[in-house]
A and B are shown apart, each in its own frame.
Chain A
Amino acid sequence: MLPLRAAPARKESLMFDLESDKITKRFGTFTAVKDVSFEVPSGSFFSILGPSGCGKTTLMRIIAGFETPSEGDIRIKGKSVLGSAPNKRNVKMVFQHLALFPMMNIGENIAYGLKCRGENRTDIKRKVTAVLDRIGLPGVEEKHVSQLSGGQKQRVAIARCMVLEPDVLLLDEPLGALDLKLREHMKIELKQLQHQFDTTFLYITHDQSEALVMSDNVAVMNAGRFEQIGPPEELYNAPKSAFVAGFVGDSNRFSGKVSAISGGEARITLANGQEVLAGIDDKALFLGAKVDVFVRPEAIFITRREKAAADSPQTLLKGVVDSLLFNGANSRVLVRLEDSSLVEVDHRIGQGEDRFNKGEAVLLGWEMHAGQCFAAKG
């Protein structure tokens, strides 16, 4: 390549701590990762979100060097690392079950990487003390791994990596083993740790709330491919595919056929003959195409049938209250439509007038652009 052309490209790529360039990984005839490309800007929190078996762990293992990609390139700080062994890459990993060394105490666990680097004793001691202070666990050096709580182990596992000042920290579903309450707490704590260390985090999870809460950018992965990369709000509000719409956040899905298109709006006839409105982005959709419409529970209005204005501009679906799902601020009403499918609607379950009762006839509606329309699969 001509040096003149290479120079600006290199400069540009320096902004990214981690780049994946068309990574493909095949195991025999099975392709685990297909043509995945992404860049992670320095100091950002990047998540890969996908159901189990979607290839996200394989991708992470490729980045860490435990697997070799069949095609493509991984660059860290602009330099390809495919030629370097796992122990030569400045990418550290927090394992799913943390993999703290059970035969070492906390201090030795953290010092392990520094020892491997051949740093001297006084430096190691100073750095271990410093990193334990930073994670808020001063003086636990002598403790045994089993003496720490789940959340503390988590922090030690992160400290063990961060003490080595990696370019990128990989986290492989580290919250999976924790109980719900602690998980909620650790989400916030992880985000704070990332700010504090100001290091690029690459986080892998199947839990969409973890990804949405913590990340600057999220990539949604499905069957080895990236479906969409973007900030959490974008994934939530403007999903680009049916998979993203269904996987990120809660959604109600309605299947039907396109019966009219005008501009960015479509009218869709459902199987039971009712019509719904939805925004439409996909240019490939045509009249009569089979589509799925996704609507967020919080975008749906619910009214008693007798009170509804006859000339309401929104989509209106008839239904009967099936059950009330009380969960504080996230309470929902489950409505059974005429074709006996169930729809979840966000509704603050209140008292008296405001309260819907089981069996009540209701109408559901949403603003046209709250519905998102994608071609149905198969």
Chain B
Amino acid sequence: MLRNDATKLSLILLMTPFILWIVLLIILPQLGIGYLSLREKLGPNDYKFGFANYVDFLQEPIYWNTLLRTAWMSILVTILSLFVGFPIAYYIAKIARRRSRAALFLLCLIPLWVSDLVRAFGWIVLLRETGIISGALQSVGLIEGPVELLYNDVTVVIGLIYTVVLFMIVPLVSTLDGMDNSLLEAGYNLGGSRFTVFRMIVVPYAMPGIVAGCIITFMLTAGSYLTPILLGGKNSMWFTEQIYDQFITRYNWEAGSTFGVLLLVFTSFVVWLGLRLTGQNLASTVAKD
């Protein structure tokens, strides 16, 4: 009985901060946002309950175009991060020697030492018209005058990949690390070519890691603000920028909340669609066997 009480107490003590965190910092603000988004502004201090904010969103092509563009670019960033991250993760988990593994992993983490903002400015220093790359290309003689490498979609995508690829690598390394080398050898031994082994053994085995990595990367990208704004400038057309504008510039909290809800719903929908299309489910990704 006493033991039972102790277990109960420790469970309560452990769960309390978690529940407080979930309720106070996630559920309550989201409920608040949801509530705000359903409030129509008729005049000063005069509100009515309804879906007018959502109707406004649908009627203004620039809004939903921005949302679609954000989603599409985030998917692109996710896929490219997978292509960039997978070889790195594979190298760290399977090819590198045990001792160099930790060092390589640490190297991947180093960018996190520097704040997002400073890293974005780092890119600006490199890429702007009077920046290092433009200058170097001129001095080598490859180009005549200075070039502006900032403020285009390619730069935004590259910058975003740079920010999020780590979150692709980490889950991939941990799943690939659990893969017994003898599975690969068995794959070759039974007559598989490199490609077959990769397609039929490595990828299916790494699937939980791939899915986890993709979800994290996609969500981070779609919700990122600094990188697209700083590298893409005013015409980056990132959806978070719209939210910021509504809240801060136009002081239209109702529209901002609506956009916030829409971003959450839409990205969740994309994740759900991705899981359906690849035949995965969230449970198998989170808890592997």
Q: Is chain B a partner of chain A in the same complex?
A: yes
Enumerate chain B residues within 8 angstroms of A85, measured Cβ to Cβ.
Answer: 188
Cα of A92 to Cα of B289 in the assembled complex, Å: 29
Contact B180 A99 (CB under 8 A): yes
Contact A96 B188 (CB under 8 A): no
Given A97-B180, A103-B205, A103-B207, decide whether A86 and B185 contact each other with a Cβ distance below 8 A.
yes
Contact A99 B200 (CB under 8 A): no
Contact B205 A95 (CB under 8 A): no
Enumerate chain B residues within 8 angstroms of A66, measured Cβ to Cβ.
Answer: 185, 188
A 95-137 contacts with B by CB, 8 A: 95-97, 99, 101-104, 112-113, 115-117
Given A97-B182, A146-B289, decide whether A116 and B189 contact each other with a Cβ distance below 8 A.
no
Q: How large is the interface on B (under 10, 10 to 19, 20 to 34, 35 or more residues)?
A: 10 to 19
Task: Identify which of A102, A113, A116, A164 contacts B205 (C-beta below 8 A).
Answer: A102
Enumerate chain A residues within 8 angstroms of B188, measured Cβ to Cβ.
Answer: 65-66, 85-87
State whether the Cβ of B201 lies closer than 8 Å to any Cβ in chain A. yes
State whether the Cβ of B274 lies closer than 8 Å to any Cβ in chain A. no
Task: Identify which of A93, A96, A112 contacts B200 (C-beta below 8 A).
Answer: A112
The interface residues of chain B, by DSSP majority, are classed as: helix
Cα of A92 to Cα of B186 in the assembled complex, Å: 9
Q: How large is the interface on A (under 10, 10 to 19, 20 to 34, 35 or more residues)?
A: 20 to 34
The stretch from B56-64, B190-198, B263-271 touching chain A is: B190-198
Given A66-B185, A99-B180, A102-B205, decide whether A160 and B289 contact each other with a Cβ distance below 8 A.
no
Contact A87 B192 (CB under 8 A): yes
Task: Identify which of A64, A95, A96, A113 contacts B191 (C-beta below 8 A).
Answer: A113
Contact A92 B196 (CB under 8 A): no
Task: Identify which of B182, B193, B204, B289 contacts A99 (C-beta below 8 A).
Answer: B182
Task: Identify which of A96, A103, A112 contacts B190 (C-beta below 8 A).
Answer: A112
Which residue of chain A has the shortest Cβ distance to B194 in the bound complex?
A87
Task: Identify which of B180, B190, B207 contacts A116 (C-beta below 8 A).
Answer: B190
A 63-90 contacts with B by CB, 8 A: 64-66, 85-87
Contact A101 B182 (CB under 8 A): no
Contact A101 B180 (CB under 8 A): no
Interface centre among A64, A112, A115, by most chain B C-beta atoms within 10 angstroms, is A112
Cα of A115 to Cα of B193 in the assembled complex, Å: 11
Closest-CB distance, A168 to chain B (whole angstroms): 12
Cα of A112 to Cα of B191 in the assembled complex, Å: 9
State whether the Cβ of A302 lies closer than 8 Å to any Cβ in chain B. no
Contact B186 A116 (CB under 8 A): no
Contact B186 A86 (CB under 8 A): no
State whether the Cβ of B20 lies closer than 8 Å to any Cβ in chain A. no
Closest-CB distance, B104 to chain A (whole angstroms): 23
State whether the Cβ of A362 lies closer than 8 Å to any Cβ in chain B. no
Closest-CB distance, B245 to chain A (whole angstroms): 46
Cα of A287 to Cα of B164 in the assembled complex, Å: 79
State whether the Cβ of B183 lies closer than 8 Å to any Cβ in chain A. yes
Interface centre among B185, B188, B189, B191, by most chain A C-beta atoms within 10 angstroms, is B189
Interface centre among A66, A91, A97, by most chain B C-beta atoms within 10 angstroms, is A66
Contact A92 B182 (CB under 8 A): no
Contact B191 A117 (CB under 8 A): yes
Cα of A102 to Cα of B200 in the assembled complex, Å: 11
Contacts from A to B (Cβ < 8 Å)? 64-66, 85-87, 91-93, 95-97, 99, 101-104, 112-113, 115-117, 146, 160-161, 164
Query: 6 shortest A-B CB distances, which residue pairs?
Result: A113-B190, A99-B186, A116-B191, A99-B182, A103-B204, A86-B188
Listed by A's residue number, 28 A-B pairs whose Cβ atoms lie within 8 Å are A64-B185, A64-B189, A65-B188, A66-B185, A86-B188, A86-B189, A87-B189, A87-B192, A91-B189, A92-B190, A95-B185, A96-B182, A97-B180, A101-B183, A101-B186, A101-B201, A101-B204, A101-B205, A112-B200, A113-B190, A115-B196, A115-B200, A116-B191, A117-B191, A160-B190, A161-B190, A164-B190, A164-B191
Contacts from B to A (Cβ < 8 Å)? 180, 182-183, 185-193, 196, 200-201, 204-205, 207, 289
Besides A93-B186, A102-B205, 8 new A-B residue pairs in contact (Cβ under 8 A), listed by A number:
A64-B185, A87-B193, A102-B289, A103-B201, A104-B204, A112-B190, A116-B193, A146-B289
